[in-house]
Amino acid sequence: MSELIARDKAYVANTYNRFPVEIVSGKGSEVFDAAGKRYIDMGSGIGVTSFGISDDAWKQAVTAQLDRVQHMSNLYYTEPCVRLAELLCERTGMKKVFFGNSGAEANECAIKVARKYAAEKKGPEYSTIITLVNSFHGRTLTTLAATGQEHYHELFQPLTPGFVHAPAEDIEALEALVREHRVAGILLECVQGEGGVIALSKEYLQAVEAIAKREDILLMIDEVQTGNGRTGELYAYMNYGISPDVVTTAKGIGGGLPLGAALLGEKAEAVLGFGDHGSTFGGNPVACAGAVSILSRMDDAFLADVREKSRFVFDSLKNAEGVESVSGLGLMVGIKTKKPAAEVLKTCMENGVLCLTAKDKVRLLPALNIPMEILAEAVEIIKRACV
Ligand SMILES: *Cc1c(COP(=O)(O)O)cnc(C)c1O
């Protein structure tokens, strides 16, 4: 292990503060390190492995496609990409899908759509995108500009211009920005993930939607983390009774392979034309075949099960010793602990549970199909680590 760490330090860019653990195998919500120690995975690769590690049906779909064709350019038709777009539209009522390879790329597409929509309807000066303070939208220079957290911006100026940030839950502040700027769109997460697992209120999101409709600016929901069953509905916006114009997603949709998507509603579907946007890998048939397997198993019974597991986690933790509060939605959980989150994480790891953090909270994003008894075992270990 120390040898692997030394090689990583020598050759891999120094952007991650990794834990000194090498994961070599796993199944479902259990993973094993090089020494054979078992961990319960409560992070699922930051909400990516929706059905856990080495999921049989997903693997079958992926390998079957690998046996056919692993990649063609977007100059030709491939079935998995079409099937996935069709499934996404059927399940959401959205009209068209653009595929990329990551959350940041999905958001880049959304931002381009909003700007072109506004430029054609109102003029190119209507280019401002409003996002929220404490949001996270990605690491490219444009999605960093969208991200409403100054500390990500500092060393990378100048970022893409045309982004302003409104404090969440303050509808007057949003109205003021709409008055002061020529706005193309509003981009936000229903549950701020990296920002501390904070679910927005229904009243606020419905008020935001009303402003977007009134002003004819695109309402774009970043479902990169909240999407694909994570909150107990297929997409988080479905908990809020709103109809966004654009939905972006990535992380959990691919089940472990890189895949991002921008779902375009009625207002947005015809905005992009030939040559306006593209991606070499976007819509890759292997990634899409895996995603079709993931998405087609997320039926009503599956989502009800996610909500039931969510209730169990919230009920078990909310009054537990050493826990100040529990936030989030579905199986996207933030735990404000009395001890520093890093300390709780370390104890959990020693005791065989892998968790994440978000700001000053312990964050849980388990696989959505985590068996109840393994979930209960993990929650018990987390509770003990909080004391
Ligand atoms: C992770 C995340 C992103 C960025 O996704 P990448 O795939 O890392 O580019 C964007 N938005 C939200 C809400 C995220 O959680």
SS3 31: strand
Separation of alpha carbons 111 and 30, rounded Å = 38
At residue 320, the pLDDT reads: 98
Pocket test of ligand 1: the residue of 251, 259, 329, 357 to mutate, having most ligand atoms within 8 Å of its CB, is 251
Mean pLDDT of 159-181: 98
Average pLDDT, the chain: 98
pTM over 0.75: yes
The model's confidence at residue 190, banded by pLDDT at 50, 70 and 90, is: very high
Separation of alpha carbons 105 and 279, rounded Å = 9
Query: How many of the other CB atoms lie within 10 Å of CB of 18?
Result: 10
Sheet holding 353-354, edge to edge: 23-27, 30-33, 38-41, 353-354
Q: What is the CA(290)–ligand 1 centre distance, in A?
A: 19
* C-beta 136 within 6 A of ligand 1: yes
Percentage of the chain lying above the pLDDT 90 cut: 99
The model's confidence at residue 332, banded by pLDDT at 50, 70 and 90, is: very high
At residue 219, the pLDDT reads: 99
Mean pLDDT of 148-165: 96
Separation of alpha carbons 147 and 166, rounded Å = 11
Q: What is the CA(54)–ligand 1 centre distance, in A?
A: 22
- Mark residue 222 as left, alpha or beta (left: phi above 0; alpha: psi -120 to 50; beta: remaining): beta
Mean pLDDT of 179-203: 98
Give per-residue pLDDT as tens, 103-139: 999 999 999 999 999 999 999 999 999 999 999 999 9
pLDDT at 1 over 80: no
Give per-residue pLDDT as tens, 280-312: 999 999 999 999 999 999 999 999 999 999 999
Q: What is the CA(47)–ligand 1 centre distance, in A?
A: 10
The single-letter DSSP state of residue 201 is P
* C-beta 224 within 6 A of ligand 1: yes
At residue 387, the pLDDT reads: 97
Q: What is the CA(321)–ligand 1 centre distance, in A?
A: 32
Q: What is the CA(227)–ligand 1 centre distance, in A?
A: 11
Q: What is the CA(250)–ligand 1 centre distance, in A?
A: 7
Pocket test of ligand 1: the residue of 143, 187, 225 to mutate, having most ligand atoms within 8 Å of its CB, is 225
Query: How many of the other CB atoms lie within 10 Å of CB of 353?
Result: 23
Instruction: Judge whether 20 and 332 are in contact, CB under 8 Å.
Output: no
Give per-residue pLDDT as tens, 226-241: 999 999 999 999 999 9
Give per-residue pLDDT as tens, 252-283: 999 999 999 999 999 999 999 999 999 999 99
At residue 13, the pLDDT reads: 97
At residue 316, the pLDDT reads: 98
* C-beta 223 within 6 A of ligand 1: no
For residue 258, give the ligand 1 atom closest to its CA.
Answer: 7
